[in-house]
């Protein structure tokens, strides 16, 4: 088996079971022409076995660990990992609230590069690394065997594949899928999802519990939902008795799907209390401020402003800007539910940004809750990067 020998002292992260090895940590690769995604042994500078990993010759993350044990990485290895991931979701009872959830969450399930979301009777698979691409067909076949679901759609269209020397791939991976739009349920509410064109794999499954929680705050409140996408937060707010909901997004297609979702839930969701507005959130928040508009509750769920720490400074300004404007638009006693999904912004920094925004807005605010991703998006204790979604519930004094 191909071996990678690390520089002296660079094995510390592996001894702490962090699964990444960067190019700068490597002293020698004994077979530099090895196939992209092939399995390698990671050895200390003294030749001691540390882990077994996938090899990515073009990425700065040169190796991603499959196992810290001296065991075969083969079909049965992946079968065991898939079964463990399924068992974890069964233990968390995620299916009691929804028929759409994350089945495999990459490093946190011991399967770097693999994301698999289940939408009722369709699986959506995303492969982001050389290693996952190498084993993709094996994993797809195992998913069918272990879940009984015959249809798998691939959404390997994320930018990070370029860093791995991979081209984007989308389309049917297994089975027959005649329509990319399907209907899911979440806390007894219905949503149309487009697995071919929608964000991520079609829906923001990680916000499920937070949508439900935000809805519980919305009764009798005028709610502004920014970056609303297809309306998950808006529909929860309306279903829980919001006085009014204004949903803002820059995508006309997303807003169109939002209106479809409201119609799907017409028994519980009063359409006459809802308004959609297409436009740039930053510009519209300033416009609302200049018009002296105000709201009882504001939800900020923006896209990823800082994918890595290198983008943190610029992203911090953007997060501060929208939170400052939100605080100005909130009425006394109003609730701000604000999120960051940026990997380059950790929870402590995000809280500092929101605190700075409140200070500059000239308001007092209290954090009443910290929010995070759902239980189907677990976080390995050894891979804190898996905890990417940060949320705060703040009450304006």
Active-site residue list: 341
Provide the token pair at 71. 């065991």
Residue by residue, what is the 3-state secondary structure of the chain?
CCEEEECCCCCHHHHCCCCEEEHHHEEEECCCCCCCCCEEEEECCCCCEEEEEEECCCCCEEEEEEECCCCCCCHHHHHHHHHHHHHHHHHHCHHHCECEEEEEEHHHHCCCCEEEEEECCEEEEEECCHHHHHCHHHHHHHHHHHHCCCEEEEEECCCHHHHCCCCCEEEEEECCCCCCEEEEEECCEEEEEECCCCCCCCCCHHHHHHHHHHHHHCCCCEEEEECCCCCHHHHHHHHCCCCEEEEEECCHHHHHHHHHHHHHCCCCCCHHHEEEEECCHHHHHHHHHHCCCCEEEEEECCCCCCCCHHHHHHHHHHHHHHHHHHHHHEEEEEEEEEEECCCCCCHHHHHHHHHHHHHHHCCCEEEEEEECCCCCCCCCCCCHHHCCCEEEEEEEC
Distances (CA, A) of 331 to 237, 292, 323: 18, 11, 14
Bridge partners of residue 3, in order along the sequence: 41
The length of the chain, given as a count of residues? 397
Give a three-class secondary structure readout of 227-288.
Answer: CCCCCHHHHHHHHCCCCEEEEEECCHHHHHHHHHHHHHCCCCCCHHHEEEEECCHHHHHHHH
Contact in structure between 241 and 163 (CB atoms under 8 Å) = no
Using left for φ > 0, alpha for ψ between -120 and 50, and beta otherwise, residue 40 falls in beta
């Amino acid at each position: 088996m191909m071996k990678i020998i690390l520089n002296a002292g660079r094995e510390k992260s592996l001894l702490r079971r962090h699964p990444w090895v960067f190019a700068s940590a490597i002293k020698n690769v004994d077979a530099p022409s090895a196939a992209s995604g092939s399995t390698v042994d990671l050895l200390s500078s003294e030749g001691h076995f540390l882990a077994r990993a996938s090899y990515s010759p073009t990425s700065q993350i040169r190796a991603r660990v499959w196992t810290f044990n001296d065991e075969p990485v083969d079909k049965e290895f992946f079968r065991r990992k898939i079964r463990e991931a399924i068992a974890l979701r069964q233990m968390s009872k995620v299916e009691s609230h929804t028929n759409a959830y994350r089945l495999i969450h990459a490093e946190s399930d011991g399967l770097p590069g693999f994301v698999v979301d289940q939408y009722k009777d369709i699986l959506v698979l995303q492969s982001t690394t050389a290693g996952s691409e190498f084993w993709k067909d094996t994993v797809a076949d195992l998913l069918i065997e272990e879940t009984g679901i015959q249809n798998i759609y691939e959404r390997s269209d994320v930018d990070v594949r370029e860093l791995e020397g991979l081209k984007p791939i989308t389309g049917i991976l297994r089975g027959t899928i005649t329509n990319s739009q399907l209907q899911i349920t979440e806390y007894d509410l219905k949503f149309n999802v487009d697995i071919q064109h929608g964000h991520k794999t079609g829906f923001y499954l990680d916000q499920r519990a937070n949508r439900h929680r935000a809805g519980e705050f919305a009764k009798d409140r005028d709610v502004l939902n920014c970056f609303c996408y297809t309306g998950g937060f808006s529909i929860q707010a309306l279903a829980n008795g919001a006085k009014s909901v204004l949903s803002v997004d820059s995508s006309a297609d997303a807003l169109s799907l939002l209106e479809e979702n409201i119609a799907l839930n017409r028994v519980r969701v009063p359409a006459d209390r809802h308004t959609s507005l297409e436009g740039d959130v930053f510009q519209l928040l300033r416009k609302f401020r200049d018009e002296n508009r105000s709201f009882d509750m504001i939800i900020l769920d923006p896209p990823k402003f800082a994918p890595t720490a290198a983008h943190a400074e610029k992203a911090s300004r953007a997060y501060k800007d929208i939170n400052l404007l939100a605080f100005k638009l909130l009425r006394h006693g109003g609730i701000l539910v604000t999120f960051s999904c940026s990997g380059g912004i950790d929870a402590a920094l995000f809280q500092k940004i929101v605190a700075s925004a409140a200070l500059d807005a000239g308001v007092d605010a209290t954090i009443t809750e910290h929010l995070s991703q759902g239980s189907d998006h677990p976080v390995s204790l050894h891979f804190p990067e898996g905890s990417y979604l940060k949320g705060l519930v703040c009450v304006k004094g």
